[in-house]
Amino acid sequence: MDGTSDRTEAADHTEPAGEQREQREEREERFGSHVAVRHHAHVAELVLDRPKAMNAVSTEMARSLAAACAALAEDRVVRAVVLTSTHERAFCVGADLKERNSLTDAELLAQRPLARAAYTGVLDLPMPTIAAVHGFALGGGFELALACDVIVADRTAVVGLPEVSVGVIPGGGGTQLLPRRVGAARAAELIFSARRVEAAEARELGLVDELVEAGGDREAALALGARFAANSPVGLRAAKRALRVGWGLEFRAGLEVEDAAWRTVAFSPDRAEGVAAFNERRAPRWSD
């Protein structure tokens, strides 16, 4: 099943414009059977919804996730995205190894670009992204979280990149994203040992950014997303671009990236509105 051909929406497009907007903010879109997008005003919740398999990423699910990310990237109303799971005991356990076991070498090779599109789809979202992690976030599941800007985890979280224990490597960005979080030596230890890390240690090592009580990850992540979304959408996207593109560059080159991002916002309506709102002591009214 192709997630791009199975996109459905719950909104009623026959209503007046104001009611349409209200429905749009609360509607749910389905991308195939295993991925949904729920809209909460300017925060979109990207939902992994394959609970019977603990959200193991199958070929179908990868297609759907890539399609959902492509739609979100073009949605100018969305200012922040929160990645969540419908499974009570798992965020995502990574690749669907049962499916992988049935694939020929040729089929596995053909699947590779589909899997990459799913992971890079999350990584390349132009607005701030937050992962809400509970239970198991292993292999590709943890890589999906690492692709987000911020990771909120509850105390049940268990994270890790165990791929070398089954004869492969982290192939959803883990070898590049993990060192950027915890440094090269710590990333090497975690990847080479294939060990699982429980919530408290994960917070101590910087594998997750915020630790909340069990069951509180989604609520905390959505609240953080709403806090992000209260700010200028133009500013948010430009700041993320500067952070992502500038990271790892030589310092002066990074400053050039920052300057280019600044120039995209300095003469925008959002800048004018933000400065006016500050001087008038009122909340800014950002344009979508």
HSE-CB at 71 with a 13 A cutoff on CA atoms is: 25
* Annotated catalytic residue, options 140, 216, 235, 274: 140
* Annotated catalytic residue, options 29, 45, 60, 143: 143
163 is catalytic: yes
Beta-strand ranges (E) seen in the chain are: 7-9, 28-31, 35-40, 43-48, 80-85, 90-92, 129-133, 136-138, 150-154, 158-160, 197-198, 210-212
140 is catalytic: yes
Instruction: Find out whether 39 and 71 touch, Cβ atoms under 8 Å.
Output: no
* Annotated catalytic residue, options 11, 36, 80, 95: 95
Question: What order of strands is seen across the sheet that includes strand 197-198?
Answer: 90-92, 136-138, 158-160, 197-198
CA distance 124 to 71: 12
- DSSP string for residues in 128-157: -EEEEE-SEEETHHHHHHHTSSEEEEETT-
143 is catalytic: yes
137 phi/psi in degrees, rounded to 5: -130, 90
Q: Which residues are catalytic?
A: 95, 140, 143, 163
